[in-house]
Amino acid sequence: MSDSASRRRSRASAGLPPITAEQIIDAAVELTGERGLDGWSIRQIATRLDVWPGVVAHHVGDREAVVMGITDRVIARIPVPGEEGPWREWFAAMMINGRTVLREFPGVARRLCVVGPNVPSAMPTIDTGIRVLMKAGFGAQAPVVYRYLFNTAFTLVAVEDDRGGFPTARADMGRAMAAFAEDESRPGLAAAGSSARVRGTGPEDIAAQETEFFLFTVERSLDGAEAMLASR
């Protein structure tokens, strides 16, 4: 008898219901929230569910299949606004909401930028977003504008995720720049240093700066798309 069959029989003997693919993805999503997309193994999922690793493969597939399931589940959590309003408002809401959700699951944003949102839950959003752009007048360029806007926003989210591995880097950089605040011989560095002094280097300060820069990036990317639209 195989290990997976033995464990399934053990669950049945204990009066437990059989494991489902949905439960496996639930556990994988939880682990991703705790450790990031690259921070878990199939064995760890199986341990959390008290099954053999073969059970995960039987119901879902290999690690890539599990990652696809996680990505699908995470994207489904991003609220999608109605398409009746202005295109800028639609994309601003999607990018901001997307950051809020993706930051809870480190690594998923990078996955979206590198591999693409090739999961079922993303298809309605892609369809709606491109329709919003077509309606605004972007025409045949709507798909590439859609890609540009989301890649710009979610690449920045991926960078924020990666900074989790360097918890003091931003504060160290802020302090290093602040040292130039009174350097009259280098006015550019002095301006950066003065800004760093005002912004602060505490955890809340850094979090606020990251949010501010993300919103700045969103608005500038939308400005670029709007300029492109105006030139058509």
* Same domain, residue pair 113 and 17: no
Which of these, 66, 81, 73, lies nearest to 24 by C-alpha position?
A: 66
Instruction: For residues 50-70, give the mean pLDDT.
Output: 96
Judged against a pLDDT cut of 90, whether residue 18 lies above it is answered with no
Residue 170, in any domain of the structure = no
* Same domain, residue pair 44 and 152: no
- Residue 204: what pLDDT? 93
Query: Distance between CA 107 and CA 105 in Å, rounded?
Result: 6
Query: Distance between CA 71 and CA 25 in Å, rounded?
Result: 10
- Residue 232: what pLDDT? 75
> For 129-180, how does the pLDDT look when each residue is reduced to its tens digit (9 = 90+)?
999 999 999 999 999 999 999 999 999 999 999 998 898 998 999 999 999 9
CATH code of the domain in which 62 resides: 1.10.10.60
**Of the residues 11, 41, 74, which one is the last residue of a structural domain?**
74
- Residue 162: what pLDDT? 95
Residue appearing with tokens 């199986």 = 46
The number of domains in the chain is 2
Judged against a pLDDT cut of 70, whether residue 28 lies above it is answered with yes
Average pLDDT of the chain?
A: 93
Judged against a pLDDT cut of 80, whether residue 49 lies above it is answered with yes
Q: What is the pTM of this model?
A: 0.89
**Of the residues 26, 55, 74, which one is the last residue of a structural domain?**
74
Angle separating helix axes 187-199 and 169-178, nearest 10 degrees: 130
Query: Distance between CA 191 and CA 103 in Å, rounded?
Result: 31
Between the alpha carbon of residue 214 and those of residues 155, 176, 184, the distances in Å are: 10, 22, 30
* Same domain, residue pair 102 and 137: yes
- Residue 219: what pLDDT? 98
* Same domain, residue pair 144 and 119: yes
Judged against a pLDDT cut of 80, whether residue 11 lies above it is answered with no
Share of the chain above pLDDT 70, in %: 94
- Residue 1: what pLDDT? 44
* Same domain, residue pair 9 and 122: no
Residue 190, in any domain of the structure = no
Decide: residue 64, CB within 10 A, 0-12 exposed, 13-18 middle, 19+ buried. exposed
Instruction: For residues 201-229, give the mean pLDDT.
Output: 95
* Same domain, residue pair 57 and 149: no
Instruction: For residues 90-97, give the mean pLDDT.
Output: 98
Range of the structural domain that residue 9 is part of: 3-74
- Residue 5: what pLDDT? 52
Judged against a pLDDT cut of 80, whether residue 4 lies above it is answered with no
* Same domain, residue pair 223 and 120: yes
Which of these, 140, 54, 139, 154, lies nearest to 103 by C-alpha position?
A: 154
* Cβ contacts of 150 within 8 Å, gap of 6 or more: 94, 95, 98, 112, 129
**Of the residues 74, 108, 133, which one is the last residue of a structural domain?**
74
Query: Distance between CA 72 and CA 78 in Å, rounded?
Result: 11
Q: Which two tokens stand for residue 26?
A: 């639930």
